[in-house]
Amino acid sequence: MLRFAPSPNGRLHLGHAYSALLNADLAARMGGVCRLRIEDIDPARSKPDFVHGIVTDLAWLGLTYPEPVRHQSRHMADYRAALDGLIGRGLAYPCFCSRGQIRARIASGIDSPRDPDGVPLYPGTCRHLGPAAGDRIARGDPHTWRLDMAAATRRAGPTHGYVAFDGTGAHRVAADPTRWGDAVIARRDVPTSYHLAVVHDDAVQGITHVVRGRDLEAATDLHVLLQALLGLPVPRYRHHPLLLDAGGEKLSKSRGSRSLADLREAGATPQAVRARLGFA
């Protein structure tokens, strides 16, 4: 079981098309199924029009998916339950720091280590607030929830890895989740983050093979830790190369990459797009 899991915060571009076609192609070769999941946990950026656009663009490419399509925004109670489980076991703590406060705190420190996305690691300001944290939550202070990485890795036991697969075979990859530090597992506005929702949903949807871009390869290290903590199966992973624009940058809406809808309007055919991406 595979899945294509776009976030509806813009129109799909060629990079999405490549990922969707690769997932569909591998599912067909394996005699499996590829599901569609709408990753719409961000209430500010997710728009129904974009959900509609995703389905339209995929259908235009010739890709259809079994029902029901999973919309993450409809499953917040499930993520809340998973989060509460981690909190109850002392593996997550509330963090009241604003981004500005974290920046200021880091600026005053010496040489701060960074996570794989280049963001300075959280310095742990709220890690040991004790009962004061409960008072602040009761008062309604906005907060995220962070994984207590030291407690989590202790609880999960020896380092967990995963099996990576590609066109030629499979090999074991060691994971080092500690490079993410005390990662945010629930945002201020919803009781989950990308990381928590993705491992939960991959398990609920019975996903056995996750095929996604290399930009998410480092996140897999954190995902296998969450899977160990939550008692979830670990799928096999394949992290495909990203399509780059003429300037060597990853395609993205914010950098003005042309959407599939733009290409369609300019007269491109689905066959031409498929052929351009190597799926004739």
Nearer to ligand GLU, 7 or 144 (CB): 7
Figure out which of the listed residues 1, 119, 216, 261 binds ligand GLU, where binding follows CB under 6 A.
216
Residues in contact with ligand GLU, counted by CB under 6 A, come to a total of 7
Q: How far apart are CA 85 and CA 81, in angstroms?
A: 6
Per CB under 6 A, 212 contacts ligand GLU: yes
Interaction with ligand GLU in 33-52: which residues (CB under 6 A)?
39
Residue 248: burial class (beta carbons within 10 Å; 0-12, 13-18, 19+): exposed
Q: List the x/- string, 180-199, binding to ligand GLU by CB under 6 A.
A: ------------------x-
Nearer to ligand GLU, 5 or 263 (CB): 5
Nearer to ligand GLU, 146 or 212 (CB): 212
Per CB under 6 A, 57 contacts ligand GLU: no
The catalytic residue among 71, 127, 240, 253 is 253
Nearer to ligand GLU, 6 or 191 (CB): 6
Q: b or e along 32-45 (b: 16 or more beta carbons within 10 Å of the residue's beta carbon)?
A: eebbbbbbbbbeee
* β-bridge mates for residue 92, sequence order: 147
Q: Using CA atoms in the order 136, 141, 142, 145, what is the torsion angle rounded to 10 degrees?
A: 0
Q: b or e along 154-185 (b: 16 or more beta carbons within 10 Å of the residue's beta carbon)?
A: eebeeebbbebbeeeeeeeeebebebbbbbbb
Peptide bond into 6 cis (omega under 30): no
**CB of residue 111 vs ligand GLU: minimum separation in angstroms?**
31
Per CB under 6 A, 239 contacts ligand GLU: no
Per CB under 6 A, 24 contacts ligand GLU: no
Nearer to ligand GLU, 69 or 275 (CB): 69
**CB of residue 104 vs ligand GLU: minimum separation in angstroms?**
30
Figure out which of the listed residues 2, 5, 83, 273 binds ligand GLU, where binding follows CB under 6 A.
5
The tokens for 4 are 């294509």
Q: How far apart are CA 280 and CA 272, in angstroms?
A: 8
Q: How far apart are CA 29 and CA 94, in angstroms?
A: 45
253 is catalytic: yes
Per CB under 6 A, 21 contacts ligand GLU: no
**CB of residue 116 vs ligand GLU: minimum separation in angstroms?**
15
Query: DSSP string covering 88-152, please?
Result: HTT-EEEE---HHHHHHHHHHSSS--B-TTSPBPP--TTTT-THHHHHHHHTT---EEEE-HHHH
Residues engaged in binding ligand GLU (CB under 6 A): 5-7, 39, 198, 212, 216
Q: Catalytic residues, which ones? A: 253
